[in-house]
């Protein structure tokens, strides 16, 4: 039988990849975007004869079906009901060119492509191979369509990123390598979808929903598959979340360890990995950092913190405020909510709260958060609280009674930041999330949110939780207090703080001051109390006084974590005023001695370049086991260095050859026996030869 049989297929990789913006994926199989045509060439054993008809079949998932839109059968030059179509292009006798188009809402993932030959009443099917279909931000019909090319370059195609960490007073930038196009990553991302709980419950339905970015984004926020979170206790160096500089190593390790979660992640690691996965699948995504981020477990829009009678922070509330928290925003439309909620959607992969039985969070429309529409899908209330909660501070006495204490509440949700398009600068996006603090719109939205949480019978000016637990109003103690640093706090040096107390009234006051200092994590969880002091001050009418507090390096050195944070509190009790107290607190981030990276003026592709990297020991004692890790995209070089004398700075020269033009991020991480993971990074512009 001389049946018409394809003998060879050309997937036209270079043409297809360049028109589909997929030329940087390292995988060998054809990778294209939905809603856009791609071309293939088929070679046959003989010319096609009249009466022989060709059709194509695409199939995806374990049980493809036309009713689930996971299978499509389409003849040449007619658009089938499925939205898939094929047309024949210019051909010769030995081969034929075909253009295949997918609908803009097609399921994404790995497809089988099959050729059907019909001759009279006989049908033959020939398996041609597999291709991968992705979301398409370049296609106006796609839910993830983004109109601006510079934004697409940044949020879909940029493999380098910046994460903002630190605190509201001291924002630091940290480099992160997303590497969404690197070896095996696309396969790993597709595997991740198949390992989700949703897939295990019902594979056919799960695959059929993968054309919807809302669904895919929500499934991926269950990233706890990949990383275990850990926010307390000690870390061995191989587990410290600060050691990571990018996502690729984590995803590859997860794959090599047979999909066992990698140890350990904290919020910026979860967000960095999730950004890689979403960009890899074609959903425009960026990282966003929220400073003074509330974590309100009981959902009453207020964060409660407890202290003992000497001002030491107690670990009894589930509520907390983190110095910063990092999540993702992805760009797509929300037909389920209405057009006003289109645009950026919050997805948070850090496992904090269960939503519908799983650790997952989002997509929550940023517009819905700004407008206080906390009842809308998904998890909008949780994110609204992260940027808007109130703070209450309580003192717990030895007999167990609690009293609210007066404190100038820090504002939750400050300096919400993301990396600029096309540069490394910081862009403040707070106004996307909330109206200006204290404005009438802000109060209106807050009242609307409260009404949606607690029902509409909320009285004016009421921000207490419904159980009215503070029947006693907090009395203003008539004094104000503030901690100021005498000089910038530097890791390895003694810290000098000044507590400034002011008497706001004309009466003479005696104030008893209990001071406490503890090392803490970025989640403000206490690690160890390092100092306690009590003093008493007389304040005359309208008088101000300064009290000095010194924290020597010898007190804090061995209790500091890689977060390098110390929290200082002063509980000031005005005598003869029936226990009226003022709480003053401050978080100090110790500055690391900079890693300095010097690069030549001009760096050219395929030509060796030498960098100068200088690093230092800021401590008053020698350090040993010094190691410098230099990371370039996916390659890491480990350099063992000589010990450093007290306060010594040293440098090395590092040579490498850049293999492609465009921006290249180089990251440096310095560790030794006394501290670890001091970071530096630089973005190098590699010029064409």
Q: At what angle do helices 185-194 and 213-220 cross, to 10 degrees?
A: 90
Catalytic residue among 295, 325, 373, 391: 325
Q: Which two tokens stand for residue 224?
A: 């706890």
- 460 has binding-site annotation: no
Of the given ranges (36-40, 522-526, 627-631), which has the lowest mean pLDDT? 522-526
- Domain limits for position 667: 596-687
Domain total in the chain: 4
Q: What are the beta bridge partners of residue 289?
A: 326, 417
For residues 36 and 531, give the distance between their C-alpha atoms in angstroms, rounded to a whole number. 65
CATH code of the domain in which 167 resides: 3.90.260.10
CA atoms lying within 13 Å on the CB side of residue 688? 0
Q: Are residues 453 and 576 in the same domain?
A: no
Q: Which two tokens stand for residue 44?
A: 């046959």
Q: Are residues 375 and 344 in the same domain?
A: yes
pLDDT of 309-341, one tens digit each? 888 888 777 788 899 999 999 999 999 999 999
Q: Report yes or no: 213 and 143 within 8 Å, Cβ to Cβ.
A: yes
Report if residue 471 sits inside a domain. no
pLDDT greater at residue 580 or residue 110: 110
Q: Are residues 59 and 116 in the same domain?
A: yes
What pLDDT does 634 receive?
79
Q: Are residues 585 and 600 in the same domain?
A: no
- 388 has binding-site annotation: yes
For residues 155 and 146, give the distance between their C-alpha atoms in angstroms, rounded to a whole number. 10
For residue 432, pLDDT over 90 is answered with: yes
Range 584-615 burial, b when 16+ CB lie within 10 A, else e: bbbbbbbbbbebebebeeebeeeeebebebbb
Report if residue 139 sits inside a domain. no
Q: Which two tokens stand for residue 312?
A: 């030491």
Question: Which of 559, 589, 619 delimits the end of a domain?
Answer: 589
Q: Which residue has the tokens 């990698």?
A: 262
Give the residue-averaged pLDDT of 162-166. Answer: 96
Q: Give the single-character DSSP code of 675.
A: -
pLDDT greater at residue 278 or residue 307: 278
For residues 125 and 127, give the distance between their C-alpha atoms in angstroms, rounded to a whole number. 7
Q: Report yes or no: 552 and 597 within 8 Å, Cβ to Cβ.
A: no
For residue 459, pLDDT over 50 is answered with: no
For residues 268 and 405, give the distance between their C-alpha atoms in angstroms, rounded to a whole number. 33
Q: Residue 663 burial by CB count (10 A; 0-12/13-18/19+): exposed, middle or buried?
A: middle
Q: Are residues 64 and 127 in the same domain?
A: yes
Give the residue-averaged pLDDT of 4-24. Answer: 95
CA 410 to centroid of chain Cα atoms: 23
Residue 348 among the catalytic residues: yes
Give the residue-averaged pLDDT of 145-174. Answer: 96
pLDDT of 415-430, one tens digit each? 999 999 999 999 999 9
Whether the predicted model's global pTM rises above the 0.85 cut: yes
Q: Report yes or no: 557 and 353 within 8 Å, Cβ to Cβ.
A: no
Residue 373 among the catalytic residues: no
Of the given ranges (100-109, 333-342, 384-393), which has the lowest mean pLDDT? 384-393
For residue 471, pLDDT over 50 is answered with: no
Q: Which residue has the tokens 């395929």?
A: 606
Q: Report yes or no: 162 and 424 within 8 Å, Cβ to Cβ.
A: yes
pLDDT greater at residue 320 or residue 650: 650
Q: Are residues 245 and 388 in the same domain?
A: yes
Average pLDDT, the chain: 90
Of the given ranges (206-220, 431-445, 447-461, 637-651), which has the lowest mean pLDDT? 447-461
Give the residue-averaged pLDDT of 136-140. Answer: 98
- 390 has binding-site annotation: yes
Report if residue 452 sits inside a domain. yes
Catalytic residue among 223, 267, 280, 391: 267
Q: Report yes or no: 405 and 313 within 8 Å, Cβ to Cβ.
A: no
Report if residue 290 sits inside a domain. yes
Question: Which of 393, 426, 458 delimits the end of a domain?
Answer: 458
For residues 244 and 236, give the distance between their C-alpha atoms in angstroms, rounded to a whole number. 13
Q: Are residues 395 and 531 in the same domain?
A: no
Write out the DSSP string of 208-259: HTTT-HHHHHHHHTTGGGTEEE--SS---TTT-GGG--BSHHHHHHHHHTTS
Q: Which two tokens stand for residue 196?
A: 């989700």
Q: Report yes or no: 259 and 199 within 8 Å, Cβ to Cβ.
A: no
Between strands 609-616 and 626-632, the pairing is unpaired
pLDDT class of 409 with cuts at 50, 70, 90:
low
Question: Which of 554, 589, 624 delimits the end of a domain?
Answer: 589
Q: Are residues 168 and 20 in the same domain?
A: no
Of 304, 295, 353, nearest in space to 465 by CA: 304
Alpha-carbon separation of residue 572 from 287, 310, 500, 505 (angstroms):
40, 9, 11, 16
Of the given ranges (56-70, 293-307, 337-351), which has the lowest mean pLDDT? 293-307
Q: Are residues 543 and 682 in the same domain?
A: no
For residue 468, pLDDT over 90 is answered with: no
Report if residue 1 sits inside a domain. no
Residues 6+ away with beta carbon under 8 Å from 461? none
Q: Which two tokens stand for residue 36?
A: 């856009």
CA 373 to centroid of chain Cα atoms: 23
pLDDT class of 352 with cuts at 50, 70, 90:
low
Q: Report yes or no: 466 and 453 within 8 Å, Cβ to Cβ.
A: no
What pLDDT does 553 receive?
96
Q: Report yes or no: 330 and 345 within 8 Å, Cβ to Cβ.
A: yes
Report if residue 468 sits inside a domain. no
Q: Are residues 200 and 237 in the same domain?
A: yes
Q: Which two tokens stand for residue 14?
A: 């270079």
Between strands 358-359 and 354-355, the pairing is antiparallel
CATH code of the domain in which 678 resides: 2.60.40.10
Helix, strand, coil tally for the chain in percent (to 5): 15, 40, 40
What pLDDT does 353 receive?
57
Q: Which two tokens stand for residue 315?
A: 């670990």
What pLDDT does 314 receive?
84
pLDDT class of 390 with cuts at 50, 70, 90:
confident
Between strands 262-265 and 227-229, the pairing is parallel
Report if residue 467 sits inside a domain. no
For residue 380, pLDDT over 70 is answered with: yes
CA atoms lying within 13 Å on the CB side of residue 213? 36
For residue 30, pLDDT over 90 is answered with: yes
pLDDT class of 357 with cuts at 50, 70, 90:
low
Report if residue 463 sits inside a domain. no
Residue 280 among the catalytic residues: no
Q: Which residue has the tokens 């529409």?
A: 373
For residue 256, pLDDT over 60 is answered with: yes
Catalytic residue among 296, 319, 348, 379: 348
Of 547, 491, 546, nearest in space to 519 by CA: 491
Residues 6+ away with beta carbon under 8 Å from 391? 294, 302, 303, 305, 321, 407, 409, 410, 412
Phi, psi values for residue 489, rounded to 5°: -80, 120
Q: Are residues 506 and 648 in the same domain?
A: no
Q: Are residues 167 and 186 in the same domain?
A: yes
């Amino acid at each position: 039988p001389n049946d018409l049989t394809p003998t060879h297929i050309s997937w036209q990789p270079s043409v297809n990849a360049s028109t589909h913006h997929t030329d940087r994926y390292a995988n060998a199989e054809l990778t294209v975007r939905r809603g856009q045509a791609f071309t293939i060439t088929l070679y046959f054993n003989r010319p096609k004869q009249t009466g022989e008809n060709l059709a194509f079949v695409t199939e995806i998932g374990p049980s493809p079906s036309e009713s689930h839109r996971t299978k499509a059968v389409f003849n040449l030059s007619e658009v089938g009901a499925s939205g898939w179509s094929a047309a024949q292009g210019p051909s010769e006798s030995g081969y034929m060119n075909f253009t295949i188009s997918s609908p803009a809402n097609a399921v994404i993932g790995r497809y089988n492509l099959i050729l059907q030959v019909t001759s009279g009443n006989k049908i033959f099917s020939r398996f041609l191979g597999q291709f991968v279909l992705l979301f398409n931000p370049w296609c106006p019909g796609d839910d993830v369509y983004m109109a601006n090319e510079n934004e697409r370059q940044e949020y879909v195609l940029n493999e380098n990123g910046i994460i903002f960490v630190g605190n509201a007073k001291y924002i630091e930038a940290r480099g992160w390598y997303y590497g969404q196009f690197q070896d095996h990553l696309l396969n790993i991302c597709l595997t991740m979808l198949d390992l989700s709980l949703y897939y295990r419950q019902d594979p056919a339905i799960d695959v059929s929903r993968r054309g919807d970015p809302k669904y895919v984004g929500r499934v991926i926020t269950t990233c706890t598959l990949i990383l275990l979170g850990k926010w307390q206790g000690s870390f061995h160096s191989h587990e410290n979340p600060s050691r990571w500089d990018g996502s690729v190593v984590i995803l590859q390790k997860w794959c090599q360890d047979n999909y066992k979660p990698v140890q350990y992640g904290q919020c910026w690691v979860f967000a960095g990995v999730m950004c890689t996965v979403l960009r890899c699948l074609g959903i425009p995504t960026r990282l966003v950092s929220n400073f003074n981020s509330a974590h309100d477990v009981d959902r009453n829009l207020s964060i409660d913190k407890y202290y003992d009678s000497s001002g030491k922070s107690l670990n009894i509330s589930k509520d907390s405020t983190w110095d910063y928290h990092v999540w993702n925003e992805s760009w797509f439309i929300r037909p389920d909510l209405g057009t006003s909620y289109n645009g950026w959607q919050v997805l948070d992969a850090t496992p904090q709260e269960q939503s519908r039985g799983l650790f997952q969070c989002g997509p929550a429309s940023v517009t819905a958060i700004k407008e206080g529409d906390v009842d809308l899908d998904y998890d909008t209330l949780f994110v609204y609280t992260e940027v808007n909660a109130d703070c209450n501070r309580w003192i717990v006495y030895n007999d167990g009674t609690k009293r609210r204490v007066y404190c100038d509440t820090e504002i939750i949700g400050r300096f919400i930041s993301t990396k600029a398009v096309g540069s490394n600068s910081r862009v403040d996006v707070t106004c996307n999330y909330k109206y200006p603090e204290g404005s009438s719109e802000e109060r209106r939205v807050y009242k609307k949110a409260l009404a949606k949480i607690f029902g509409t019978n909320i009285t004016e000016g009421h921000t207490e939780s419904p159980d009215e637990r503070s029947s006693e109003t907090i009395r203003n103690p008539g004094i104000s207090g503030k901690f100021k640093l005498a000089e910038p706090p530097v890791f390895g040096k003694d810290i000098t703080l000044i507590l400034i107390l002011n008497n706001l009234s004309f009466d003479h006051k005696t104030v008893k001051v209990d001071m406490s200092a503890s090392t803490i994590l970025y989640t403000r969880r206490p690690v160890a109390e390092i100092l306690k002091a009590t003093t008493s001050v007389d304040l005359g009418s309208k008088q101000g006084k300064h009290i000095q507090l010194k924290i020597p390096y010898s007190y804090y050195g061995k209790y500091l974590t890689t977060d390098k944070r110390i929290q200082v509190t002063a509980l000031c009790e005005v005598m003869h005023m029936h226990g009226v107290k003022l709480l003053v607190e401050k978080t100090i981030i110790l500055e690391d001695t900079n890693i300095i990276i010097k690069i030549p003026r001009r760096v050219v592709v395929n030509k060796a370049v030498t960098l100068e990297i200088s690093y230092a020991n800021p401590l008053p004692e020698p350090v040993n086991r010094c190691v410098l890790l230099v990371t370039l995209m996916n390659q890491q070089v480990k350099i063992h260095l000589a010990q450093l004398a007290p306060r010594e700075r040293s440098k090395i020269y590092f040579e490498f050859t850049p293999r492609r033009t465009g921006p290249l991020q180089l990251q440096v991480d310095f560790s030794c026996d006394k501290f670890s993971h001091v970071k530096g990074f630089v973005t190098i512009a590699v010029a064409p030869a």
